[in-house]
């Protein structure tokens, strides 16, 4: 598949997922007219684990054989921030729907990777650093337990992961490797909310993301691209207003 066709397919898939998520939230949003609605801001810290089960996408761009694998890629930890809006239903006060979005930047430091060549052993390559910007959008189903001012909760939903990567040039004035990818995965959270007043609440939560990243190669930069699994842990604090 050509790069242009792959990007078009990724955009088409992303639009379908976003449309399905928006339709789901819209349908349930109007179930009850007098439900508890909230909006919140969130900030936190992202701990990115090494990637897993990586493989080369476009091996011929770098003169590699098809089926070449890639060792784990180290990612930096980073800050994150975002917003969420949700709704609990009066007849089912323990059940809610939420739509959240947040941004994180787990950049890739310069490092040495091992490429596994089918039937020919392995080689080591030095990869320059790269900046990563990930935007996560996810509709979630939320379950909570109300114990006075305290509200522990859990939530999960499908996540759409928008990644933009800019790789640094290996030599001064050299070509850089820059592209975007839309991936899909899982977004989960476990948290505790504390009501300061009837309408204002503080919360803290742990989020976990699991997604596949699929970056195609770039011929003019001689880069092979990568397909790999990414897992992110986020430790988040926030402030919400409940209507």
pLDDT tens figures, 54-86:
999 999 888 899 999 999 999 999 999 999 999
Q: Which two tokens stand for residue 125?
A: 């390559």
Give 180 or 17, the one with higher predicted confidence.
180
Q: Smallest Cα–Cα separation from 133: which of 112, 100, 154, 104?
A: 104
Q: Are 80 and 208 in contact (CB under 8 A)?
A: no
pLDDT of the residue at 78: 98
Alpha-carbon distances of 100 from 86, 240, 242, rounded to whole Å: 8, 13, 15
Q: How confident is the model at residue 8 (pLDDT cuts 50, 70, 90)?
A: low
The total domain count for the chain is 1
Radius of gyration of the chain (CA): 21
> How far is it, in rounded angstroms, from Cα 104 to Cα 232?
10
Which domain range does residue 112 map to? Answer: 3-242
Q: Smallest Cα–Cα separation from 214: which of 18, 51, 41?
A: 51
Q: Output b/e per residue, 217-238; b: 16+ Cβ within 10 A.
A: bbeebebbbbbbbbbbebebeb
pLDDT tens string 82-99: 999 999 988 899 999 999
Rounded average pLDDT over 152-181: 86
Alpha-carbon distances of 59 from 33, 85, 229, rounded to whole Å: 56, 43, 18
Q: Is 93 left (phi over 0), alpha (psi -120 to 50) or beta?
A: alpha
Q: Which two tokens stand for residue 184?
A: 């899909």
Q: Which two tokens stand for residue 154?
A: 């859990």
pLDDT tens string 109-158: 999 999 999 988 999 999 889 999 999 999 999 999 999 999 999 999 99
> How far is it, in rounded angstroms, from Cα 111 to Cα 51?
13
Q: What is the pTM of this model?
A: 0.84
Mean pLDDT of the chain: 88
Give 65 or 172, the one with higher predicted confidence.
65
> How far is it, in rounded angstroms, from Cα 103 to Cα 211?
15
Q: Are 74 and 50 in contact (CB under 8 A)?
A: yes
Helices (H) and strands (E) in the chain, counts: 1, 12
pLDDT tens string 181-234: 999 999 999 999 999 999 999 999 999 999 999 999 888 777 889 999 999 999
Using the predicted structure, report yes or no on whether residue 32 has a pLDDT greater than 50: no
Residue in this structure with the two tokens 């790999």, named with its chain if needed: 228
Q: Are 106 and 76 in contact (CB under 8 A)?
A: yes
CATH of the domain at 122: 2.40.160.20
């Amino acid at each position: 598949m050509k790069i242009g066709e792959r990007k078009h397919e990724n955009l088409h898939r992303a639009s379908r997922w976003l449309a399905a998520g928006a339709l789901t939230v819209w349908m349930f949003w109007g179930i009850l007219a007098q439900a508890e609605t909230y909006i919140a801001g969130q900030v936190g810290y992202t701990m990115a684990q090494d990637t897993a089960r990586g493989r080369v996408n476009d091996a011929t761009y770098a003169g590699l054989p098809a089926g070449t694998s890639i060792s784990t890629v180290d990612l930096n930890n980073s800050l994150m921030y975002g917003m969420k809006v949700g709704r609990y239903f009066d007849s089912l006060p323990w059940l809610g729907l939420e739509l959240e979005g947040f941004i994180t930047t787990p950049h890739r430091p310069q490092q040495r990777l091992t490429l596994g060549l089918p039937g020919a052993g392995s080689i080591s390559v030095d990869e320059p650093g790269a900046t990563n910007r990930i935007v996560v959008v996810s509709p979630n189903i939320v379950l909570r337990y109300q114990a006075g001012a305290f509200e522990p909760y859990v939530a999960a939903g499908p996540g759409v992961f928008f990644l933009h990567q800019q790789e640094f040039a290996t030599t001064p004035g050299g070509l850089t490797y820059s592209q975007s990818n839309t991936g899909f995965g899982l977004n989960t959270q476990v948290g505790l909310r504390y009501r300061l007043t009837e309408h204002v609440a503080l919360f803290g939560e742990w989020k976990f993301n699991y997604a596949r990243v699929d970056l195609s190669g770039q011929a003019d930069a001689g880069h092979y691209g990568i397909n790999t699994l990414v897992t992110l842990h986020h430790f988040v604090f926030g402030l919400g207003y409940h209507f």
